[in-house]
Structure 1
Amino acid sequence: MGIPEERIDRLLTLAREAVVLEELDRSRELVRRARRIAERNRCPVPREFERRTCDSCDVYLRPSVTARVRTRPGRVVVRCLECGATHRYPFS
């Protein structure tokens, strides 16, 4: 694991902690910084990062705090409570 990947993982951890402390603006800034590092270094962001952050408003998605999670037949539906964006992920 290279330095950019370690930095992205650390920023994801800090974003999670910021949401726990209800500092949503700080969480957004950390997520934006992690995405910028991934773009600059041309490294893919982890799947966990993609699924736990909102693409529209860059907030860390935590169930019942910043996101509503529902299961439907064959998929999981995650709705961001900050901006209302909906993300659907398949599962088997």
Structure 2
Amino acid sequence: MAKSRKKNKAIARSIAQERIGYLFSLAKSEFSEKPEMSKRYVALARKIGMRHRVSIPSELKRSFCKNCGSLLLPGKNSRVRLNDGTIIITCLDCGSIKRYPFDKEKKD
């Protein structure tokens, strides 16, 4: 019985990862017409990830605001700046700021 339960959990997690990716693609496509639906898709993806204990991939994790839950598209509702080895992303809906380090290219 334990093996089948583990197998079911593994299947549920793989399905959850697929759905998270699909919901983020829907959120990106719907953003221009209906930003509120886009926000709802992001919220659903986060809820699925929490329920099945699946982490959202890092490239998707950086694409939404953790404060207000809106999808961040540079130039539309977010500002991206580079400052001393740091990427600064500002959400223009709620004003929250996220900072990510990056390596500068080394000059020879």
Shorter-chain TM-score bucket reads: over 0.9
Gaps of 5+ in 1: none
Deviation at residue 80 of structure 1 after TM alignment: 0.4
Percent sequence identity over aligned pairs: 37
Q: RMSD value over aligned CA atoms?
A: 1.1
Q: How many residues align?
A: 91
CA distance in 2, matches of 1:41, 1:2: 10
Q: Does 1:17 align with 2:29?
A: yes
Structure 1: 4+ residue segments shifted above 2 A:
none
Q: Alignment partner of 1:71: what SS? A: strand
5+ long unaligned stretches in structure 2: 1-12, 104-108
Kindly name which structure, 1 or 2, has the bigger radius of gyration based on alpha carbons.
2
Instruction: Provide the rounded CA distance (Å) in 1 between the counterparts of 2:97 and 2:33.
Output: 21
Residue 13 of structure 1 deviates from its aligned partner by 0.5
2: CA distance between counterparts of 1:57 and 1:23? 16
Which one has more relative contact order, counting CA pairs under 8 Å at least 6 apart?
Answer: 1
TM-score (norm 1): 0.94
For residues 66 and 22 of structure 1, the distance between their equivalents in structure 2, rounded to whole angstroms, comes to 14
- Is 1:29 matched up with 2:40? yes
